[in-house]
Structure 1
């Protein structure tokens, strides 16, 4: 049995903790047991027996650090306000325990601002890491020896694994399950959790659906809703304009002003992003092109080449 130890700090985010914990708990349910024991045992440790969360619900924890081996994992969920003025710091014993666990062959991981805890322990020096997109500059400033990778879901460098914001902890945990038990087991865990798909670590933190939503045009948001829901289908501009109640010319102008893209270009980005995910999961370019609505793979290849240029 492997121990999965969550190191809890005050004001931790519940989803940072619960998302990853659910993955390992579900993995323990779906994997065959050995002599009646689950493959994972979850533990929660902190300096105090009760830890307040950012969402107002206190959680219980052990105060004694468990004895761990190289097969065990220590994970640090993120917390609110990790900046220089408001972020909590690990105690000296917590930082030492993290560092020693890694030094003795164990794996250490973080979710969101939990990367700051790994930095305080010296585990980010000389290593690739990431965190929530709003915190990346601060992480790089506070730990200049770290190599902060922008706009990825998670990084892995010599048994130090860091993930981006909040829900990406689920992707990180599914990745660890896939590494240990194979992608089929990780896929089964994802299905049990009703997670749409296990994302690769190098996928962007903000999808195209999110990157082009920071505008105030209700009409354009309605068009985006329609494209988001049906991007694998043909969506002629006259049909989109009619559904919005404006002329084609007006729709194109408003959409471009709000997003920097034409409706067709926005739809192509969604198709490309989904196709890249499918290819990353093992699909051929031809199969991915058909799945996202292209008649053949030529357009997908052109889009991929343009994105790489």
Structure 2
């Protein structure tokens, strides 16, 4: 039986906790043997979403095979959380020193930093707080824009949904990929993403607008980016003329529908190449007739489509 202890900090984000807890709960349902505990410095723990939680204040006895996870909290704005005492930090240090694994979700990486576990290690956190983490812990080797990082039994994730990816990885390491796949299917998680996936996909980067007609077109391109899509068909799907669609699409995304489709194709191709697929095979898989166009687009957009697995960043 593996014990998973969640250290709850005031103003924690519910999904930072619930996602990983659901992974281990589901794994236990399948017979992999997990028992979860929730500890805090005070019994009543307020959350960022307003739902109060209750935890125990005494820590259970932990063995090297057990896990300690620190979910993230509201790191900015009124009512920001993150209050954590030295006694809790010492518990984290002792568990790692005794051969155990410690993990964090989102801003929870700060707790690992304060415990001294990020010094000299690769780590990540949510993109909105990564600059602050780099400033506060200059000896940490921050890796930006990835889902999770593993370094010497210190596991950090970007936050929110990426906490699920991180914990599925931990299940896979302990019980094999088939076990993680079984848990993912039960949770209706489409696919287990690897740690060096970017946090903000091209799809999400260009969705920050309120144009319903453009969203409808993006929905179509997102679903069929590997197909040959004609502007007339896209315009029909959006309910506007081709000229109007091109104008509106450019106003809210800064590009044409074709360029958006190319972004999705290249991003997917980069993922496949990072997993060992040849450039030629990746090009055909995403809808290019051969690799020449893919190579041309990769060369033109090299900064945006950097290969998977970025190097650690130097704090600014």
TM-score normalised over the length of structure 2: 0.86
In structure 2, C-alpha distance between the alignment counterparts of 1:24 and 1:286, rounded to whole Å:
39
Match of 1:161 in 2: 155
Deviation at 1:113, TM superposition (A): 0.9
In structure 1, C-alpha distance between the alignment counterparts of 2:255 and 2:202, rounded to whole Å:
11
Match of 1:126 in 2: 120
Match of 2:313 in 1: none
Gaps of 5+ in 2: 304-316
- The equivalent position to 1:69 in structure 2, one of 59, 63, 67, is 63
CA contact (8 A) 2:226 2:265 kept: yes
CA contact (8 A) 1:174 1:198 kept: yes
CA contact (8 A) 1:82 1:116 kept: no
CA contact (8 A) 1:199 1:277 kept: no
Alignment of structure 1 residues 200-211 onto 2, 5 Å: 200-211=194-205
Post-superposition CA distance 1:141-179 (Å, at most 9, x none): 222222222111111111111111211100000111111
Match of 2:254 in 1: 260
In structure 1, C-alpha distance between the alignment counterparts of 2:301 and 2:212, rounded to whole Å:
29
Q: How many equivalent residue pairs?
A: 303
Match of 1:24 in 2: 24
CA contact (8 A) 2:11 2:46 kept: yes
Deviation at 1:308, TM superposition (A): 4.8
In structure 2, C-alpha distance between the alignment counterparts of 1:85 and 1:192, rounded to whole Å:
35
Say what the alpha-carbon RMSD is for the aligned residues: 2.5
Deviation at 1:45, TM superposition (A): 0.9
Alignment of structure 1 residues 111-190 onto 2, 5 Å: 111-190=105-184
CA contact (8 A) 1:108 1:160 kept: yes
Deviation at 1:245, TM superposition (A): 4.7
Q: Is residue 2:12 matched to residue 1:12?
A: yes
- The equivalent position to 1:54 in structure 2, one of 24, 41, 48, is 48
Q: 1:8 to 1:82 in 2, by over 3 A?
A: farther
Deviation at 1:128, TM superposition (A): 1.5
CA contact (8 A) 1:5 1:73 kept: yes
Q: 1:97 to 1:193 in 2, by over 3 A?
A: same
TM-score normalised over the length of structure 1: 0.87
CA contact (8 A) 1:82 1:88 kept: no
CA contact (8 A) 1:102 1:108 kept: yes
Gaps of 5+ in 1: 32-37
Match of 1:35 in 2: none
Match of 1:110 in 2: 104
Deviation at 1:56, TM superposition (A): 2.0
- The equivalent position to 1:212 in structure 2, one of 198, 206, 210, is 206
Deviation at 1:249, TM superposition (A): 4.7
**Secondary structure, aligned partner of 2:36:** strand
Greater Cα offset, 78-87 or 201-210: 78-87
Post-superposition CA distance 1:159-213 (Å, at most 9, x none): 1111112111000001111111111111111001000110111111111111112
CA contact (8 A) 2:279 2:291 kept: yes
Deviation at 1:54, TM superposition (A): 1.7
In structure 2, C-alpha distance between the alignment counterparts of 1:120 and 1:85, rounded to whole Å:
21
In structure 2, C-alpha distance between the alignment counterparts of 1:279 and 1:58, rounded to whole Å:
45
